[in-house]
Amino acid sequence: MDLAAETATLDSRRPAETDAPAGRVVVRAIVAGIGGYLPERIVGNDELSRTVDTSDSWIRERTGIHQRHIAQPHETCAFMATRAAQAALADAGAAPGDVDAILLATATPDQAFPATALRVQAALGCGGFGFDLSAACSGFIYALSMGDLLIRSGQARGVLVIGAEVYSRIMNWQDRGTCVLFGDGAGAVFLRAGTGEGTGADRGILSTHLHADGKLGDILYVDGAVGRADKPGHLVMNGKEVFRHAVVRLSGAVDEALAANGMDHAAVDWLVPHQANMRIVDAIAKRLALPVERVVVTIDRHANTSAASIPLALAEAHADGRLQRGQVVLLSALGGGLTWGSALIRL
Ligand SMILES: CC(C)(COP(=O)(O)OP(=O)(O)OC[C@H]1O[C@@H](n2cnc3c(N)ncnc32)[C@H](O)[C@@H]1OP(=O)(O)O)[C@@H](O)C(=O)NCCC(=O)NCCS
């Protein structure tokens, strides 16, 4: 079989159950609980402008960022992921024994191995299995998609999906083009197996779409790795190129999600995009004709927390009562790789 053709087919395939005839009972991954954790230390733009040649007004105007949370030494990826997971389990009224799998999206794990997911497993006292997943800022959508598959295949009935990042540890703090953009944090959702009829009226994850183009790997990357003692690595970015791709690919991803579910833009109650730049968020909202009041925005206070940004935004909007059962939530993200994708969920 032609591999390129097969990959393209897999990229855009609708989940099997959305094709199920009405009346048939299908398994759905229901978002049962949501939680987040942000480091205590807040660093405002003015504080950064004392160490690097930038200004509060430049950062606000070009990105929408006012401040970011920066982890202290004890706030490791595993520490923050555990706090977020505990909050998600408590929100779901679930116990550690209900967790069959932990999927943790991160580019900044505590150790090369064991997987940070397993440090979280030990801290929570769960059984089952777990692993880390690397897809940069799209990591949470990728992990959510894998969690959905585990539940729909019957391999797991309860899955913790976590995005946790300490990008402050891979920043070049002399590079004003990148260090002002990122922050640290963790967010988690607990997925629980439920049932539906295979229609868009079901609760749960209605679809996920994942994409990647490795040929674009050099516009956003870390120039080292834990396996290279001489170079643990710093984040490097061609901001203009990433911006250009972000608007095009994210717009495509939201259109794809709606088309796969036979839904119109008007069906979306909340857009929860990856929080990289307010100008990118505005462009996607405009394309969906969604007023900004229906877009969950945290970039002003969190900056870009990579794989943690979407679950942290979900946690905030859930905690303040914006997210309500039955609503349709559209998630979309783009990150280094390039990776990008979307998820459509009915809460
Ligand atoms: C990074 C980004 C904010 C830069 O904005 P921009 O409008 O493209 O700005 P430019 O890169 O053209 O830089 C314009 C000027 O500002 C300067 N500049 C860059 N960062 C600066 C900062 N923090 N403070 C002050 N000036 C800065 C540049 O050096 C340049 O100066 P010059 O004109 O004298 O050469 C923007 O490109 C962006 O957000 N890209 C996407 C990033 C992203 O989303 N990454 C994560 C994806 S997951």
Asked whether the beta carbons of 315 and 84 are under 8 A apart, the reply is yes
What confidence category does residue 4 fall into, taking pLDDT thresholds of 50, 70 and 90?
A: very low
Report cis status (omega within 30 of 0) of the bond before 314: no
From 62, 238, 245, 275, the mutation candidate for ligand 1 (largest count of ligand atoms within 8 A of CB) is 62
Cβ < 6 A, ligand 1 pocket:
54, 58-59, 62-63, 137, 176-177, 180, 237, 239-240, 242-243, 246, 276-277, 304, 334-335
* Gap from CA of 76 to ligand 1 centroid (Å): 28
Is 137 catalytic? The answer is yes
Ligand 1: residue whose CA is nearest its atom 26:
54
* Gap from CA of 239 to ligand 1 centroid (Å): 6
Question: To the nearest 10°, the Cα dihedral for 48, 52, 58, 64?
Answer: -40
Q: Which residue has the tokens 């990591």?
A: 139
Residue type, 102: I
* Gap from CA of 313 to ligand 1 centroid (Å): 24
**Calpha distance 136→255 (Å, rounded):** 22
Ligand 1: residue whose CA is nearest its atom 4:
239
Ligand 1: residue whose CA is nearest its atom 20:
177
Give me the pLDDT at residue 174, please.
Answer: 95
Ligand 1: residue whose CA is nearest its atom 15:
177
**Among 132-141, 180-189, 219-228, 274-283, whose mean pLDDT is lowest?**
219-228
Is 211 catalytic? The answer is no
Q: Over 50: is that where the pLDDT of 1 sits?
A: no
* Gap from CA of 335 to ligand 1 centroid (Å): 17
Averaged pLDDT, 234-244:
94
* pTM value > 0.95: no
pLDDT, tens digit, for every residue of 289-316? 899 899 999 999 999 999 999 999 999 9
From 55, 219, 277, 332, the mutation candidate for ligand 1 (largest count of ligand atoms within 8 A of CB) is 277
Marked catalytic residue, from 69, 211, 234, 274: 274
Output the furthest CA–CA distance in the chain (Å, rounded).
Answer: 62
Asked whether the beta carbons of 134 and 162 are under 8 A apart, the reply is no
Q: Which domains does the chain have, with CATH numbers?
A: 8-13+199-346 (3.40.47.10), 29-196 (3.40.47.10)
Marked catalytic residue, from 45, 69, 126, 137: 137
* Gap from CA of 143 to ligand 1 centroid (Å): 30
pLDDT, tens digit, for every residue of 149-174? 999 999 999 999 999 999 999 999 99
pLDDT, tens digit, for every residue of 65-124? 999 999 999 999 999 999 999 999 999 999 999 999 999 999 999 999 999 999 999 999
Asked whether the beta carbons of 302 and 185 are under 8 A apart, the reply is yes
| Mean pLDDT of all residues belonging to the chain | 92
* Gap from CA of 320 to ligand 1 centroid (Å): 33
Is 265 catalytic? The answer is no
Ligand 1: residue whose CA is nearest its atom 44:
276
pLDDT, tens digit, for every residue of 196-232? 999 999 999 999 999 999 999 999 999 988 766 667 7
From 243, 247, 248, the mutation candidate for ligand 1 (largest count of ligand atoms within 8 A of CB) is 243
* Gap from CA of 254 to ligand 1 centroid (Å): 26
